[in-house]
A and B are shown apart, each in its own frame.
Chain A
Amino acid sequence: MYIKSIHLENVRSFPELQFDFERPGGRFAGWTVFVGGNSSGKSTILRSAALALIGPEAGGRLAGSPTGWIQKGQTKASVVLKVKWDREYDGFKQAGKNPGDSFEAGVRWFLEKKTDEIPEFKGVDKRNANDTRIKSAERGPWSPNSFGWFSAGYGPMRRLTGSSSEAMRYSSSKELESRYVTLFREDAALSESEEWLRRMHARTLESSSSEIGRMLEGVKELLGDGLLPHGMKISRITVDHVFVEDAKEVELPMRDISDGCRSIYATILDLIHGLCEVYGANKLFERTSEGKLVVACPGVVIIDEIEAHLHPSWQRDIPEWLKVHFPKIQFLVSTHSPLIAQAADENGLFILPLQSDEDQVARPATDAEYERIRWGTAHKTILGVAFGLKTTRTRWATQKLKRWQELNAKHHEGIRLAASEKREFVQLQKQMELAFDGAPVDAL
Chain B
Amino acid sequence: MRTLPSRKPLGEKLLSKLAAETAAITGSADAKTEAATRYGRARKAKWFEPVVKTLCELAGPGRRCMFCSGSESSDVEHYRPKAVHPELAMEWENYLWSCTPCNRGKSNRFPPETEDGGLLINPLDENVWDFFFIDDYGLLTPRFDSEAGVPDERAVSTRDLLSLNREAVHESRLMRLRNLRQQVTDTFGLLKQRKLSKGEARERLETWKLEPWQPDVASYFLSGPGKDRSPFKEFLAAI
Q: Which residues of A contact B (CB under 8 A)?
A: 357, 380, 383-384, 388-393, 401, 404-406, 408-410, 412-413, 415, 432, 435-436, 440, 443-444
Contacts and interface: CB of A to CB of B under 8 A. Distances in A.
Contact of B144 (A401, A412, A443): A412
Contacts of A410: 144
Given A390-B163, A406-B151, A413-B144, A380 B139 contact: no
Interface stretch (B19-27, B111-119, B129-137): B129-137
Nearest to B163: A390
B178 A415 contact: no
B75 to A, nearest CB: 12
Given A405-B135, A405-B141, A408-B135, A392 B185 contact: no
Q: Which 6 A-B pairs have CB atoms at the shortest separation, nearest pair first?
A: A440-B136, A409-B144, A390-B166, A383-B168, A413-B144, A405-B141
Interface residues of B, number: 24
5 contacts: A383-B168, A388-B101, A408-B141, A415-B144, A444-B178
Contacts of B144: 406, 409-410, 412-413, 415
Contacts of A390: 163, 166-167
B141 A409 contact: yes
A409 B178 CA distance: 20
A444 B185 CA distance: 9
Contacts of B182: 444
Interface of B: 101, 104, 133, 135-139, 141-144, 146, 151, 163, 165-168, 174, 178, 181-182, 185
Contact of B167 (A393, A406, A408, A413): A393
A380 B182 CA distance: 24
Contacts of A404: 139
A443 B180 CA distance: 12
B149 to A, nearest CB: 9
A114 B39 CA distance: 38
B163 A444 contact: no
Q: Which of A409, A415, A436, A444 neighbours the largest number of chain B CB atoms within 10 Å of its CB? A: A409
A389 to B, nearest CB: 8
Contacts of B178: 440, 443-444
Given A390-B163, A391-B166, A444-B178, A413 B139 contact: no
Contacts of B163: 390
A435 B143 CA distance: 22
A215 B54 CA distance: 69
A219 to B, nearest CB: 45
A31 to B, nearest CB: 25
Contacts of B104: 357
A392 B167 contact: yes
B168 A380 contact: yes
B142 A409 contact: yes
Contacts of A392: 167
Given A383-B167, A383-B168, A412-B144, 13 more contacts: A357-B104, A383-B166, A389-B167, A393-B167, A401-B139, A405-B135, A405-B141, A408-B135, A409-B144, A412-B141, A412-B143, A440-B178, A444-B178
Given A383-B166, A390-B163, A392-B167, A405 B143 contact: no
A190 B180 CA distance: 57
B135 A412 contact: yes
A389 B169 CA distance: 12
Contacts of B141: 405, 408-409, 412
B135 A444 contact: no
Q: Which of B135, B142, B182 neighbours the largest number of chain A CB atoms within 10 Å of its CB? A: B135
Contacts of B168: 380, 383-384
B62 to A, nearest CB: 15
A390 B165 CA distance: 9
A436 B174 CA distance: 9
Contact of A413 (B101, B143, B165): B143
A406 B139 CA distance: 11
Contacts of B133: 409, 412
A405 B181 contact: no
A33 B94 CA distance: 40
Contacts of A405: 135, 139, 141-142, 151
A146 B181 CA distance: 70
Contacts of A412: 133, 135, 141, 143-144
B178 to A, nearest CB: 5
Contacts of B138: 436
A429 to B, nearest CB: 9
Given A405-B139, A405-B141, A409-B151, A415 B166 contact: no
A388 B104 CA distance: 11
B36 to A, nearest CB: 11
A412 B139 CA distance: 13
Contacts of A409: 133, 141-144, 151
Contacts of A406: 144, 151
B67 to A, nearest CB: 14
Q: Which of B104, B137, B139, B151 neighbours the largest number of chain A CB atoms within 10 Å of its CB? A: B137
Contacts of B135: 405, 408, 412
Nearest to A410: B144
A404 B143 CA distance: 12
B228 to A, nearest CB: 11
Contacts of B142: 405, 409
Nearest to B185: A444
